[in-house]
Chains A and B, each alone.
Chain A
């Protein structure tokens, strides 16, 4: 970790951080939706565009199902639902919610879309009668899984942690890394290395990359 680099972190709750790279990638995730108004003439108008608009808008006929990224859903959504209406993705629906409430530790959150908590929080922006249940599920899932993350991050010293982080989503991985950093710093202090000046990890990375370029 380069100590002096502090990137803009993801937003908490229902607000995204505009400049956060994580939030931008998170809002690229798709959600299912449905077109609410008939827009058939647009297909014809699209002919004048630069190529790739066509593919998307051709599917905007009334009632047709679509998969759109979150940022587009947020932009086109309005309370009167004139343009599109959004539906919940599979993992936030009733069936999966009961799975989460049964035992949240076994779920592979990385496979379920690597931004479970972030994306779930953003879903609360669309008025949906199930929002309170969704919010509860996200919260309870986090509470259930947190203990294991904290334990494993504080006890895995100098080991290969890929098995431990494989099923964690991005938020949980960030927490895991924070835990690891704390552990490593403490161990370093215990060994009396806290006052040793080290080459900055940033510099070391640049050095390695340069060697790779020269060789390759």
Chain B
């Protein structure tokens, strides 16, 4: 009653700071929708009675309607805020999300993410001439073409444009082209070392 479950969902999301995506609460969502359905049905029944003269029911109908609207607002805000977080993931993480995050998303959200990725890719291809422009690169203004990086964890082999492969072992340092490593630095695999 009184949108308790909807509110709990909103609270949980509000607590998850820094754009973190908590797991999708399917069960609570289902319960909240169930509550809305029950309220709606009772209101439907009461409206027909009220029309035939029982004006004392009007307050009750209005009360239930308020609860319905409140539930609707909580659920919509919950879903929308999650989508905003998922969108942020595309920009911060890249186009392939690790499994741990994917487990937190519902099937519809995964679908949405894929469509967003496609939309973004289409747009990026259409901007900036023939090859398109990768907008997710160079978030900070670049100072040089090549940068010094240190490896924070073992990442295996890494191939660069001229064909040579580099072994990314923990604590090894390399001098690599910026555009190749930016993604890995943002993912926390490499660390940008300033001289």
Q: CA A125 – CA B186 in complex, angstroms?
A: 47
Instruction: Give 1 or 0 for each of A176-216: 1 = CB within 8 Å of chain B CB.
Output: 00000000000000001111111111111111011000000
CB-CB nearest in chain A for B97? A206
Contact B143 A195 (CB under 8 A): yes
Tell me if B66 counts as interface (CB < 8 A to partner A): yes
CB distance from A149 to the nearest CB of B (A): 20
The reply to whether B81 and A19 form a contact with Cβ atoms under 8 Å apart is yes
Contacts of A5 in B (CB 8 A): 18-19, 84-85, 88
- Across the interface, do B66 and A200 meet the contact criterion of CB distance under 8 Å? no
Number of cross-chain contacts by CB at 8 Å? 147
Q: How far is the CB of A54 from chain B (nearest CB, A)?
A: 9
CA distance in complex: A196, B182 (Å): 10
List the one stretch of B68-76, B122-130, B157-165, B167-175 in contact with chain A.
B68-76
Question: Are A24 and B7 CB-contacts (below 8 A) given A72-B2, A197-B140, A197-B186?
Answer: yes
Contact, CB under 8 Å: A195 / B92: no
Min CB gap A214→B, angstroms: 10
A172 within 8 A of B: no
Contact A42 B59 (CB under 8 A): yes
**Nearest CB of chain B from residue A177's CB, rounded to whole Å:** 11
Q: Could you tell me which residues of chain A, from 1 to 54, have a CB within 8 Å of some CB in chain B?
A: 1-8, 18-22, 24-25, 28, 37, 39, 41-42, 45, 49-53
Pick from A4, A41, A53, A193: contact of B1, CB under 8 Å: A53
B10: interface (CB < 8 Å): yes
Q: Is A66 an interface residue (CB 8 A)?
A: no
Known A21-B77, A195-B141, A200-B92; contact A57-B63, beta-carbon cutoff 8 A: yes
List B contacts of A198 (CB < 8 A).
185-186, 192
Return chain A residues, CB-CB under 8 Å to B194.
192-193, 196
Interchain CB contact under 8 A, A21 and B13: yes
> Complex: how many Å from CA A207 to CA B101?
11
Q: Are B1 and A210 in contact (CB under 8 A)?
A: no
Assess whether A157 is interfacial by the CB under 8 Å rule.
no
The answer to the question of A126 belonging to the interface, with a C-beta cut-off of 8 Å to chain B, is no
| Nearest CB on B from A192, distance (A) | 7
Partner of B69, one of A41, A75, A193: A75
Residues of B within 8 A of A49 (CB): 42
Given A197-B186, A199-B185, A202-B18, verify A8-B62 contact (CB < 8 Å).
no
- Listed A/B pairs (11) with beta-carbon separation below 8 Å: A1-B18, A18-B77, A21-B77, A22-B14, A25-B10, A39-B56, A72-B63, A72-B70, A197-B140, A199-B188, A202-B92
Can you name 19 extra interface pairs (CB under 8 A) apart from A197-B182, A199-B186?
A4-B92, A5-B19, A8-B80, A24-B10, A49-B42, A56-B1, A57-B63, A71-B66, A71-B70, A72-B63, A75-B65, A75-B69, A197-B186, A197-B192, A199-B188, A200-B187, A202-B20, A203-B187, A206-B98
Residue ranges of B at the interface with A (Cβ–Cβ < 8 Å)? 1-2, 7, 10-11, 13-14, 18-20, 38, 42, 56-57, 59-60, 62-63, 65-66, 69-70, 73-74, 76-77, 80-81, 84-85, 87-93, 98, 100-101, 139-143, 147, 181-182, 185-188, 191-192, 194
Query: Shortest 3 CB-CB distances between A and B: which pairs?
Result: A5-B19, A2-B19, A75-B66
